[in-house]
Amino acid sequence: MGLSDLLASEAERETLAAVLRTGGLAAVPTETFYGLAADPLNDAGVARALSTKKRGDEKPFLVLFAEREDLAPLGVRARPETLDRFFAIWPAPLTVVLPLAQPIPASLGSATLAVRMPAHAGLRELLRAIGPVTGSSLNRTGEPPCESADDVERLFASEIDVLVDGGRSPGGRATTLVDATSDPPRVLRQGAFAWPPAA
């Protein structure tokens, strides 16, 4: 289904949310590549995402969200001043590792979680309706990520339940990844967002 059609239909958005809540998977467009969306609090969905990517459980999933209030239900327990720093930057292709009160399915046993408010307006609008989702790039481990709905259809049609077609993604570099559990934050991966940001 096209992203614009999905955003125009409350019934379709509710259907997608229900699919994810019950362990389903979706492909969603992001500001870099297509992402593999599962409910980050659903064990079955996270397990399916791991299987689809053909990767082990040593690398937790990042989570995409739309609003600051989405972080508390995920268990994020960062200091307000830490969050203020990143909300002055977001939305942006910047993924930030923050502490959790306790592990959740998407964190794969870790007491931290990588989160991002994506720089894709349509995706943020969708997330406001369906809630946070995992957002790791849609690819097999070690292979290039999907840049278009055609790529998703060709490679993953039998493994995902919903394809949200947002056209060709920008591609390019992956998002920048920063660990904010240390002070100052530590760069884990330089990517599409320049870190540290310009003053």
Q: Give the pLDDT band of residue 198 (cuts 50, 70, 90).
A: confident
The pTM score is: 0.96
CATH number at residue 119: 3.90.870.10
Structural domain includes residue 197: no
Please determine, for residue 55, whether its predicted confidence score (pLDDT) is greater than 90: no
Considering Cα of 180, then 143, then 49, then 174, what sign does the dihedral take?
positive
pLDDT confidence of residue 22: 97
Structural domain includes residue 89: yes
Which residue, 37, 179, 63, 175, is CA-closest to 119? 175
pLDDT confidence of residue 197: 87
- Tally of domains within the chain: 1
Quick one: average pLDDT of 119-129? Answer: 97
Quick one: average pLDDT of 40-69? Answer: 95
Quick one: average pLDDT of 45-69? Answer: 94
Q: Which tens digit of pLDDT belongs to each residue from 153-167?
A: 999 999 999 999 999
Q: Which tens digit of pLDDT belongs to each residue from 128-147?
A: 999 999 999 999 988 999 99
pLDDT confidence of residue 194: 93
Structural domain includes residue 199: no
Lowest mean pLDDT among 101-105, 149-153, 182-186: 182-186
Domain that holds residue 59: 3-189
β strands within the chain, DSSP E:
26-29, 34-37, 63-64, 94-99, 112-116, 133-134, 162-163, 176-179, 186-189
Q: Which tens digit of pLDDT belongs to each residue from 171-186?
A: 889 999 999 999 899 9
**Cβ contact 171:99 at 8 Å:** no
**Cβ contact 8:125 at 8 Å:** no
Structural domain includes residue 196: no
Quick one: average pLDDT of 82-97? Answer: 97
Please determine, for residue 199, whether its predicted confidence score (pLDDT) is greater than 70: no
Average pLDDT, the chain: 96
Q: At CA 143, angle to CA 142 and CA 144, rounded to 5?
A: 130
Quick one: average pLDDT of 41-60? Answer: 94
Q: pLDDT over 70 for what percent of the chain?
A: 99
**Cβ contact 105:134 at 8 Å:** no
Q: How many angstroms separate the CA atoms of 19 and 13, rounded?
A: 10
The alpha carbons of the chain give a radius of gyration, in whole angstroms, of 16
β strands within 53-185, DSSP E:
63-64, 94-99, 112-116, 133-134, 162-163, 176-179
**Cβ contact 168:147 at 8 Å:** yes
Please determine, for residue 56, whether its predicted confidence score (pLDDT) is greater than 90: no
